[in-house]
Chains A and B, each alone.
Chain A
């Protein structure tokens, strides 16, 4: 089972910031939070990841709460091309044999013109 809980769907107006929440209350100390997105049946695409500090790259920002039980992915200026399913995943960084990358059902983000 996925270790994360995300809303099924969200809407965001084009040009506004899209804030996608994720709950991961059972996260372990060595587990990272990863975000991927999948645009219309294409292969999922990596966005960003973090352990406990906030992270930013050219695509998005990741805000992780101090207790690490939840996080928010922020797309600062959403465009229509950001319409996709966004997956929040918890996983260790160094993978051993029993470690898997488990996807939940994600959040379907609709960017509205």
Chain B
């Protein structure tokens, strides 16, 4: 089944403790992206990647890192999480020439 898989789905952590949210897709998509969603602010793009070893900042990259060492994976790294990074995070993927982006089911992160 074609899908984008994020893990974990829920995470509560403490300020400053490094964490990684994984994202994996099985559709051989070139494009992958991370979004965060906050009440009243909608979906905002954090980072995106057009292909392996190619990553670019979105609208809200501060405090996040990503890597794209292989096509199927695009982990989101929070080196030193802070409470303002408490949010709902979505990973998405798609072909560069295709019609639709596929989204994961989301990761709800709480930083205390």
Say whether chain A's binding surface is mostly helix, strand, loop, or mixed.
Answer: loop
A103 touches B100 (CB 8 A): no
A43 touches B99 (CB 8 A): no
Which residues of B from 82 to 112 have beta carbons under 8 Å from A? 88, 90, 92, 96-97, 99-106
A87 CA to B43 CA in the complex, in Å?
A: 10
* Chain B 3-41: CB-based contact to A (< 8 A → 1; otherwise 0): 010000000000000000000000000010101010011
Interface 9-residue window, one of A14-22, A23-31, A44-52, A73-81: A44-52
Which partner residue on chain B sits nearest A2 by CB separation?
A: B42
B104 touches A43 (CB 8 A): yes
Interface residue? A69 (CB, 8 A): no
Which partner residue on chain B sits nearest A49 by CB separation?
A: B99
A46 touches B100 (CB 8 A): yes
Interface residue? A93 (CB, 8 A): yes
Which residues of B from 52 to 69 have beta carbons under 8 Å from A? 54, 56, 58-59
Interface residue? B73 (CB, 8 A): no
A43 touches B50 (CB 8 A): no
Given A43-B4, A103-B43, answer yes or no on A95-B99 (Cβ-Cβ < 8 Å): no
Given A43-B4, A49-B99, answer yes or no on A101-B33 (Cβ-Cβ < 8 Å): yes
Candidates B33, B88, B97, B99; contact of A46 at CB < 8 Å? B99
A44 CA to B13 CA in the complex, in Å?
A: 26
A101 CA to B35 CA in the complex, in Å?
A: 10
A44 touches B45 (CB 8 A): no
B103 touches A49 (CB 8 A): no
9 A-B pairs closest in CB distance: A43-B103, A46-B100, A103-B43, A105-B42, A95-B96, A44-B103, A94-B97, A43-B105, A49-B99
Interface residues of A (CB under 8 A from B): 34, 36, 41-46, 49, 87, 93-98, 100-106
